[in-house]
Amino acid sequence: MKIVKTKDQNAIQFLVEPIKKFIEKDEIIEYTHEAFIKWLRYSISIPSIGVWLVQNDDKIIGFAIANIQSTLDHEFVNITQLFGEQEEIEYELINKISEWSKKNGIKIVLTSSKFPKKWKRMGFEIEAHTLKMEV
């Protein structure tokens, strides 16, 4: 198993199917698969975006996408997507994202999830609830 951070747009072709499966599996309704691929194509080379691929015998078995964000009071890394065929792959990806955060001088890693128990097992704590209003 090898984890590689990439900025190469050619890597997107290998992520199309895994991302589609991830979006369908987690029943994500906030965005479409096509919209996400378009965003990724535009964003992959921006330094504040991190894309990691987990390869095993030239097959993608996991990936993570995170970005650096900031508010007026703090800076943090937001994990947008995390997928591994096994949970231990996801743990390894969390470690890579944590290392990347530290290299960038950031001490906070956040994510939003409909499945907080899974993230709690990976060391996250539930801090807030997401609020939504449609206008």
Closest CA to 46 of 24, 64, 68: 68
Q: Which domain holds residue 14?
A: 2-121
Strand order in the sheet with 75-84: 2-6, 49-56, 59-70, 75-84, 109-111
Q: Say whether 98 sits in a helix, a strand or coil.
A: helix
CATH number for the domain harbouring residue 117? 3.40.630.30
- Identify the pLDDT of residue 70: 92
What is the tens place of the pLDDT at every residue in 94-114? 999 999 999 999 999 999 887
**Percent of residues, the chain, with pLDDT higher than 70:** 100
- Determine the pLDDT at residue 13: 85
**Spatial contact of 100 and 93, defined as CB atoms under 8 Å apart:** no
**Residue that the structure tokens 């990806």 belong to:** 93
Asked whether residue 133 is assigned to any structural domain, the reply reads no
Domain count, the chain: 1
- Which residue positions in the chain have pLDDT lower than 70? none
Query: Would residue 38 count as lying in a domain?
Result: yes
Q: Are 54 and 89 in contact (CB under 8 A)?
A: yes
pLDDT of 51 reads: 93
91 falls within a domain: yes
